[in-house]
Structure 1
Amino acid sequence: MENFDAIIIGAGQAGPSLAAKFAAQGHKTALVERKWLGGTCVNNGCTPTKTLIASAKAIHTAKRGAEFGFNVLGEIKTDMKLVKKRKDEIVQRSTNGLQNWLSNVTNLEIIEGHAKFMANTIIQIGERKISAPKIFINVGTRARVPQDVQHVPHFTNSTIMDVDFVPKHLIILGGSYIGLEFAQMYRRFGSKITVIETNTELVPREDGDVSKELKNILEGEGIEFKLGATNLNASQHSKGIKISLESNNGAINLIGSHLLVATGRLPNTHDLGLENTDLILNKNGYIAVDEYLKTNVEGIWALGDVNAKGAFTHTAYNDFEIVADHIFQDSKRSINDRIPCYALFTDPPLARIGITEKEALKSNNKLLIGHRPFFKISRAKENGEENGFMKVIIDADTEQILGATILGLNGDEIIHGMLDIMYAKASYRTILNAVHIHPTVTELIPTMLGELKPLNF
């Protein structure tokens, strides 16, 4: 048995920083990773997908050249091998940087291999057995593939990272965040795209007006949608994959060259040997934690997507901050302090903070709403990006922002001003009375706030 002061299982966004923090404090620390340093974000999530999205955006802009006063000689074609090469190089730089950093941290040992609990405080990796009084589980999630399609060839968000060609007709199962990013990306690369969604709206977590506008934007680029899908059946076909289903438009048979499954995530708790511990999992297999990320077992924490308290890189990193502050600074910082915030990186992006309009309407609060379409924003017109809108929900009594949505040019960046005001618990009038730079998209936020209307009183 080898004894450590701390063991971190999983080198995703929370793991490396926490391991380095323990090591810097003089603690003998083990960071166990079975596959990739950096986890999903660096290897098959944020970094590669946003790199691919950038390539798709450049191709799309080139095809729109006439709108901006220039012409490109010859046909604009996607060289997917070069697109993938660029993506791979950027990912490699990120992983190399992480490897170089961690390899030079004193008191830290990186152990490559699959970790399996033998008891609450004992972990086996291959022939090694290690133990520590503090153990942190940061193993993330993986793609959920419904049984209906497991028997046919398919891509997930991970395996599609290896594609170096443009699929002729890519069918995407799932009309939410991952599915829509890949739909627009591959449409711009040149694929025919059909998106199948079981709900009657895209991204059903969002307000109806957001789902409708997003659908209109993507349909404008030639993406087809089959909503309200039921009785789905998948089979192999001489031309690829055949999908039969019932939808809002009746019975449909689709034949595509390839299939991408984007129907949610599953926690990577299935092969950790947790049956040998006293850890409590919820009904979906995620590890139960309290507001400080502690599990029910003393000395074990769960961070990142595996605790179901967030499904994003930024929430995983915030988990690290909370745990580190709690252990090393005796802080009372907790996940209860966190305001929901995330983005869908379509073009234009969808950015969301706080609660939705439909969530706000469930309260008894007096509410105000502000709304501004992007076709009324000069900067959007100048950039040829007039799709989308922004809206904000205000508590009329406290004057605090409850939530905001921006679906439009640079929305994923400019929404942070309102998010910071929410964290400060300040009145929306702080932004209303501010002087913003012209010409920008952000300067229209005070305009929107100056035109608030009652929502439910």
Structure 2
Amino acid sequence: MPISCDVLIIGSGQAGNPLATAFADAGRRVVLVEENLLGGSCINYGCTPTKTMLASAERAHHIRTAADFGVQAGEAQVNMAAIVARKDAVIQEMRDGIRKNLEQQHKGITVLNGHAAFTEPHVVRVALAGGKEQTVTAPLVFINTGTRPNIPEIDGLSKDIYLTTNDILNIKEVPEHLIILGGGYIGLEFSQMFRRFGSRVTVVESGAELLEHEDDDVCRSMQELIEAEGVEFVLNARAHRVSCNDEGAITVSVHTRAGERRLRGTHLLVATGRRPNTDAIDLEKVGIKTDEQGYIQVNSRLETSVRGVYALGDVHGGPQFTHISYDDFRVIRDNLLLGKRRSAKQRPLPYVVFTEPQLGRIGLSESQAQEKKIPYRVATMPVQYIGRARQTAQTAGFFKVLVDNKDQIIGAAILCEQGGEIMSMLQLAMAGKLPYTTLQDTVFAHPTWAEALNNMFAKLEKPK
């Protein structure tokens, strides 16, 4: 029999799950359809598994560098199977928690495992995992189907040759030579991770710099830090052919400004972005508009071109971060359940690149401030001047903070150990509209990383 409910959510991601419980707690009947694994990309393929494995890579690095601190620890032995098993255990515990939360701790939620596709604007047909079909109707529909790895069109690039960012999370051996296509934050995290596991690593990036949205000084410093660990970068390089011989050796042919190069490795990771999961849910049948890349078009309330149908998370484009997806949930909750007016536009965009050291970013970069013609002053400070950095020998990186003519912080790039945490402190100051002088004069505990904020603004000056 068809199921009629108040709320239909397609996708169990970081926006869909809390939305399901919020509507259920408000007395609504909720159906949540998930085709793959509960928790979405963050828990299963993104933040949780990568950061769990990065923690293992960090331990290996600590062992290798222990002698620098007067500790003899021996050679680090990396067991990829054990690393993956630990990652899987962490993920499974989180999946189990999500299922318990949806099915036991909140009444009124029905979870269906299957693929949903629209037949009418407020009707979907779900191909259930067991082979049967189920029709679901609801006046409110929320699309939270997320994204998947984007594979570029390169001659010879077949599935049996490359690994996606999902696949490499389950690799049971340390690659001898890992070639990575893509120098964004995902490619950088994997490059340092596998270098620390013991792989030779080469990163191929089509742009002139890594991290295309960052200032030049941030990009250069990040590249130098990871190069110092032995990662090779090939920039301004366009891969145009991939081949694999009978022994399994992979050759990637790239065009560079210096001429043709052939890179030979044992494994190839494609980390060239993601694409939306919208091509198989029949949006065109019901008039839900998408852009040229397939991302669903929404207004400031996250409503699509069809009234009563909304899109949340990565599937509507824009910055693809878990915290933005969760804020999408808050936008919907406030507007539809709490009677408040909340917009998904013009919200802060903090993010962290979880290399070591971390890059924490909030607000405007210097190039963005210049493009917007916003008057600003900038303060930069090398991390090596911080007492905590010297004590821990984590002296790489620098702080960079922008301040406007009213002494308000308008942006920051913090490249250092705990860079994400320091960035969050600056974000709180920005949210509270505190002048930079408040941080400059605050009594912070010594010796901490936060203490650096006392000295950060000593050389605040106009851009050159």
Separation in 2, partners of 1:61, 1:224: 21
Is the 8 Å Cα contact of residues 352 and 406 (structure 1) preserved in structure 2?
Answer: yes
- Describe the SS at the equivalent of 1:336: coil
Separation in 2, partners of 1:253, 1:364: 43
1:345 aligned onto 2:354: yes
1:131 aligned onto 2:140: no
Is the 8 Å Cα contact of residues 10 and 143 (structure 2) preserved in structure 1?
Answer: yes
CA displacement at 1:170 relative to structure 2: 0.5
Matched residue, 1:381: 390
Matched residue, 2:420: 412
CA displacement at 1:233 relative to structure 2: 1.2
Is the 8 Å Cα contact of residues 169 and 257 (structure 1) preserved in structure 2?
Answer: yes
Separation in 1, partners of 2:309, 2:432: 32
Separation in 1, partners of 2:238, 2:32: 44
Matched residue, 1:150: 157
Separation in 2, partners of 1:151, 1:361: 43
Is the 8 Å Cα contact of residues 227 and 248 (structure 1) preserved in structure 2?
Answer: no
1:369-425 deviation line (CA, Å, top 9, x unaligned):
0001011111011111111001001112x2221110001110011111110121223
CA displacement at 1:328 relative to structure 2: 1.0
1:263 aligned onto 2:272: yes
Give the TM-score of the pair, scaled to structure 1.
0.97
Is the 8 Å Cα contact of residues 157 and 241 (structure 2) preserved in structure 1?
Answer: no
1:65 aligned onto 2:66: yes
Moved more, 434-443 or 239-248: 239-248
Separation in 2, partners of 1:364, 1:412: 27
Matched residue, 2:409: 401
**1:303-318 → structure 2 map (5 Å cutoff):** 303-318=312-327
Moved more, 64-73 or 137-146: 64-73
Structure 2 counterpart of 1:57, which letter?
A: E
Is the 8 Å Cα contact of residues 369 and 375 (structure 2) preserved in structure 1?
Answer: no
Matched residue, 1:195: 203
Structure 2 counterpart of 1:139, which letter?
A: T
1:209-252 deviation line (CA, Å, top 9, x unaligned):
11100111111000001100025211112342111112244321
1:245 aligned onto 2:251: no
Is the 8 Å Cα contact of residues 116 and 124 (structure 1) preserved in structure 2?
Answer: yes
Is the 8 Å Cα contact of residues 239 and 256 (structure 1) preserved in structure 2?
Answer: no
Matched residue, 2:214: 206
**1:50-449 → structure 2 map (5 Å cutoff):** 50-73=51-74, 75-104=75-104, 105-126=106-127, 127-148=133-154, 150-151=157-158, 153-230=161-238, 232-237=240-245, 238-396=247-405, 398-449=406-457
Separation in 2, partners of 1:309, 1:6: 25
**CA RMSD after TM alignment:** 1.2
Is the 8 Å Cα contact of residues 149 and 165 (structure 2) preserved in structure 1?
Answer: yes
Separation in 2, partners of 1:181, 1:98: 27
Separation in 2, partners of 1:289, 1:353: 24
Moved more, 438-447 or 185-194: 438-447
- Describe the SS at the equivalent of 1:114: strand
Separation in 1, partners of 2:359, 2:239: 31
Separation in 2, partners of 1:334, 1:99: 30
Moved more, 218-227 or 420-429: 420-429
Separation in 2, partners of 1:422, 1:262: 33
Separation in 2, partners of 1:409, 1:440: 11
Separation in 2, partners of 1:155, 1:102: 33
| Structure 2: stretches of 5+ with no match in the other structure | 128-132
Identify if the C-alpha distance between structure 1 residues 89 and 231 changes in structure 2 by more than 3 Å, giving closer, same or farther: closer
Q: Equivalent pairs: percent with the same residue?
A: 39
- Describe the SS at the equivalent of 1:415: helix
Q: Aligned residue pairs: how many?
A: 454
Separation in 2, partners of 1:365, 1:209: 20
Is the 8 Å Cα contact of residues 240 and 254 (structure 2) preserved in structure 1?
Answer: yes
Structure 1 counterpart of 2:424, which letter?
A: H
Identify if the C-alpha distance between structure 1 residues 111 and 231 changes in structure 2 by more than 3 Å, giving closer, same or farther: closer
Identify if the C-alpha distance between structure 1 residues 82 and 16 changes in structure 2 by more than 3 Å, giving closer, same or farther: same
CA displacement at 1:65 relative to structure 2: 0.8
Is the 8 Å Cα contact of residues 286 and 306 (structure 1) preserved in structure 2?
Answer: yes
- Describe the SS at the equivalent of 2:183: coil
Is the 8 Å Cα contact of residues 157 and 243 (structure 2) preserved in structure 1?
Answer: no
Separation in 2, partners of 1:376, 1:229: 36
Is the 8 Å Cα contact of residues 147 and 276 (structure 2) preserved in structure 1?
Answer: yes
- Describe the SS at the equivalent of 1:113: strand
Separation in 1, partners of 2:213, 2:256: 20
Separation in 2, partners of 1:296, 1:400: 38
Separation in 2, partners of 1:350, 1:361: 21
Give the TM-score of the pair, scaled to structure 2.
0.96
